[in-house]
Structure 1
Amino acid sequence: MKTYIQKGNNSLLTLNHKTSKKVFVDAVVLLEGNINYTIFHLANGKQKLVAHSIKFFEPFLETHGFLRIHRSYMINPNHVKNLNQEEYKVLMNNGREAIISKRKKSIFKNLI
């Protein structure tokens, strides 16, 4: 996986080398995994589908502050709009909801 550093320390993440899909890391709100595919939900409302699992992107995105809250979800804490403590759900700025797994409750407490 290639990353590029632009002026102003905004990192670009190359999602697919063949089609040259690149996004700014700060624009990524949520990653949603489904077996060997990952859907990147961006701040502008667009979605990008990539043929890699979340685990492939996890080491790089953790260095940028992303949190793995479920086996199917990884979030950018900068885009969290609301936390539902009773149902262990996170509402993101783009309107998407992500579930926090029972084993990741400690992360939930850090977000508060």
Structure 2
Amino acid sequence: MDFYYLKKNDSVDLSQLVFLEALENYTLFHLIDGSKVISSLTLKRHQENLLHKSFLRVNRSMMINALFVDSIVLKKDTHYICLQNGKEIRVSRRRRDTLADLAS
């Protein structure tokens, strides 16, 4: 198990973390069991900390764990990533190159 520390005594198991969602100056961690954990750090800060893990930024407010990607679909010129929990996340035009990272 690989843990990511949010605070001194608060951590999240990365194998249970499906995606991260920006909420202004906070970040919401969505776990595989449906529970959520909030962090007072911005999504950008978490992106810097999770750079070498299996996490990819797909739009300005979402970061996904590539291990939970089920499929990638195209709807009306917009790409969506479908996660194993059924959630569909839109991929921004500027972040489409991250889809190539998923394929490799």
TM-score greater than 0.5 by the shorter chain: yes
CA-CA distance at 1:111 after TM superposition = 2.5
Residue number in structure 2 paired with 1:52: 41
Alpha-carbon shift at residue 93 of structure 1 (Å): 1.4
Q: Which residue number corresponds to residue 80 of structure 2?
A: 89
Q: How many residues align?
A: 101
Which runs of structure 1 show a deviation greater than 4 angstroms over 4 or more consecutive aligned residues?
none
Query: What is the TM-score normalised by the length of structure 1?
Result: 0.80
Aligned amino acid, residue 64 of structure 1: K
Structure 1 residue 76 and structure 2 residue 61: aligned? no
* Unpaired segments ≥5 residues, structure 1: 1-9
Which ranges in structure 2 are unaligned for 5 or more consecutive residues? none
Q: Counterpart in 2 of 1:107?
A: 98
The secondary structure found in structure 2 opposite 1:83 is strand
CA shift for structure 1 position 25: 1.1
Q: How far apart in 2 are the matches of 1:45 and 1:25?
A: 14
Counterpart residue type for residue 66 of structure 2: P
Shift of residue 54, structure 1, vs aligned partner: 0.6
TM-score by length of 2: 0.85
SS at 1:67's partner residue? Answer: strand
CA root-mean-square deviation: 1.5
Aligned counterparts of 2:96 and 2:11: Cα–Cα separation in 1: 32
Aligned partner (choices 19, 31, 52) of residue 42 of structure 1: 31
